[in-house]
Amino acid sequence: MNKIPVMKPFFTQEEKDAIHDVLDSGWVAQGPKVAEFERIIAAHEGVRHGIATTSCTTALHLAMVALGLGEGMDVIAPSFTFVATVNSIRMTGATPLLADIEQATFNINPEHVRQLINIYYVKKEDGLFHKQTGNRLWGIIAVHQFGLCADMNRINKIAAEYNLMIIEDAACAVGARIGSVYEGGFGHASCLSFHPRKSITTGEGGMILTNDDALAERLRTLRSHGASVSADQRHTGQGFLLPEFNEIGFNYRMNDIQAAVGIAQAQKLDWLLEERNRRASLYTYWIHEKIPFLIPPTVPEGYYHTYQSYVCMIDPKGLGINDIDALGDYRNKLLAGLEELGISTRQGTHAVHMLGYYKEQYGYTPRDLPVSYTADRLSITLPLYVQMTDEDQKAVITTILKVASEINEMSER
């Protein structure tokens, strides 16, 4: 069997031509192509400003710094997310407080957020303060996991009640929306990723979206060492003079080669998302028809899922096994068997509270956040990319059934 990868970027001649045009122009650092890419993505998501960065991780860090996060502050974030979400908090010197997720959506559970606030914080005139450490609760990071928006209506109600900042970690979710509002329109800032596993890619890269004019200006300054004038602005003015530097910043700039690829990708974005949804629907149909031990992704009414990843869960009822660790072992055998037969898969993502640093630093145990722990142990990402054929997807389904049958035969011996 030919190997079927988890994800494959979709490139055409447009991306190649765009790279050549940039190389021929002689301007390969951050410049006019970055500015154009920022305008295109911001316009697509219905947001005033886009600030391109080197990755979503640097976008998250930059947004947190620009919004004032630092030492002596806490941030609530979901445990079931890629570690970069929580690492970004630690990079500012702030302390993460991990929340559980809703299993159906894989997104942060607003009710658990409220429980954490009630358990750990006391309300004072100028905010919420941790009862033991004295840290002020700064805000909430809402991750739009796998391309599905978190329940921003309930999250924003909590934030408004306690005057908390909201950052949307939309690494997986360019194009995702609730009703007519796209990611980027719910919080103070939203952070995107253009990693090769995302719906569109620049190789590596990220972007911050915001409707706040002052915040956008500060983000642009901080991403370029704290310079008062950007390189492309200098090019159109007196470029022989260096800008003023009034604060310490970072080198988080995307370059024009990446942005040119991004522009070509963005022109296909709506079509790519439609194709991903079509492929996802086919998976969901076949799982319902043929694989009773898998639970396909859930999409709440009114939400648009971009299916950056198609993530299922092992269903305990379908296998007649109730122990999570035993089910996790079954999941791992299934993934190993698929890999041997040429089907690449992954667990959905990890539960951060189970990772070494966070367990040791904050004393978490696996079942402190039981739904995140379950998702860590039982989630399965199936291959999904627009170049897939129906036959490819049938091969994935058929191979899952074949490996599951072999596992069951082995367990009966």
- Model confidence pLDDT, tens digit, residues 387-399: 999 999 999 999 9
The answer to whether position 2 is within a domain reads no
pLDDT of 243 higher than 70: yes
Task: Verify that 80 and 66 share a domain, yes or no.
Answer: yes
The answer to whether position 341 is within a domain reads yes
Q: Helix, strand, or coil here: 7?
A: coil
pLDDT tens-place string over residues 257-270: 999 999 999 999 99
Task: Verify that 23 and 154 share a domain, yes or no.
Answer: yes
Q: Helix, strand, or coil here: 380?
A: strand
Task: Verify that 83 and 164 share a domain, yes or no.
Answer: yes
Residue 242 pLDDT: 78
Residues 6+ apart with CB under 8 A from 307: 146, 147, 273, 276, 277, 279, 280, 297, 384
Indicate if the alpha-carbon torsion angle 259, 261, 346, 111 is positive or negative: positive
Give the residue numbers spanning the domain of 214: 13-266
CA distance 86 to 95: 9
Number of domains in the chain: 2
3-state helix, strand, coil in the chain (%, to 5): 45, 20, 35
Backbone angles phi, psi at 251, to 5 degrees: -105, 85
Residue 244 pLDDT: 84
The total of other beta-carbon atoms located within 10 Å of residue 284's CB is 17
Instruction: CATH number of the domain at 164, please.
Output: 3.40.640.10
The answer to whether position 150 is within a domain reads yes
Residue 182 pLDDT: 98
Task: Verify that 249 and 260 share a domain, yes or no.
Answer: yes
Paired residues of 262 in beta bridges:
none
DSSP 224: B
The chain-wide mean pLDDT, for the chain, equals: 95
pLDDT tens-place string over residues 325-357: 999 999 999 999 999 999 999 999 999 999 999
Q: What is the pairing mode between strands 165-170 and 181-182?
A: unpaired
pLDDT of 56 higher than 80: yes
Q: Percent of the chain at pLDDT above 90?
A: 92
The answer to whether position 313 is within a domain reads yes
CA atoms within 13 A on the CB side of 168: 31
pLDDT of 231 higher than 60: no
Residue 396 pLDDT: 98
Task: Verify that 298 and 363 share a domain, yes or no.
Answer: yes
Strand boundaries in 6-157, DSSP class E: 49-53, 73-78, 95-99, 101-102, 107-108, 121-124, 127-130, 136-143
Angle 299-305-306 from CA coordinates, rounded to 5°: 155
Task: Verify that 170 and 306 share a domain, yes or no.
Answer: no
pLDDT of 234 higher than 80: no
The residue with tokens 């040119």 is 260
Task: Verify that 176 and 195 share a domain, yes or no.
Answer: yes
Q: Of 266, 293, 328, at which residue does a domain stop? A: 266
Residue 235 pLDDT: 57
CA distance 106 to 83: 15
Q: Percent of the chain at pLDDT above 70?
A: 96
Q: Of 225, 243, 266, at which residue does a domain stop? A: 266
What is the reported pTM?
0.95
Task: Verify that 203 and 217 share a domain, yes or no.
Answer: yes
Task: Verify that 207 and 192 share a domain, yes or no.
Answer: yes
The answer to whether position 8 is within a domain reads no
Show the tokens assigned to 171.
């690494």
Task: Verify that 186 and 292 share a domain, yes or no.
Answer: no
The answer to whether position 137 is within a domain reads yes
On whether the CB atoms of residues 364 and 80 are closer than 8 A, the answer is no
Residue 247 pLDDT: 87
Q: Considering only 111-120, 212-221, 233-242, 295-304, which range has the smallest mean pLDDT? A: 233-242
pLDDT of 238 higher than 70: no
pLDDT of 19 higher than 70: yes
Q: How confident is the model at residue 237 (pLDDT cuts 50, 70, 90)?
A: low
The answer to whether position 4 is within a domain reads no
Residue 245 pLDDT: 86
Task: Verify that 241 and 97 share a domain, yes or no.
Answer: yes
Measuring CA to CA, how many Å separate 51 from each of 35, 41, 56, 191, 399?
8, 10, 11, 9, 43
Instruction: CATH number of the domain at 359, please.
Output: 3.90.1150.10
Give mean pLDDT, residues 69-83.
Answer: 98
Task: Verify that 224 and 362 share a domain, yes or no.
Answer: no
CA distance 295 to 290: 12
The answer to whether position 5 is within a domain reads no
Strand boundaries in 131-244, DSSP class E: 136-143, 165-170, 177-178, 181-182, 189-193, 206-210
pLDDT of 232 higher than 60: no
Q: Of 266, 287, 317, at which residue does a domain stop? A: 266
pLDDT of 12 higher than 90: yes
pLDDT tens-place string over residues 154-205: 999 999 999 999 999 999 999 999 999 999 999 999 999 999 999 999 999 9
CA distance 145 to 148: 6
pLDDT of 236 higher than 90: no
Residue 230 pLDDT: 58
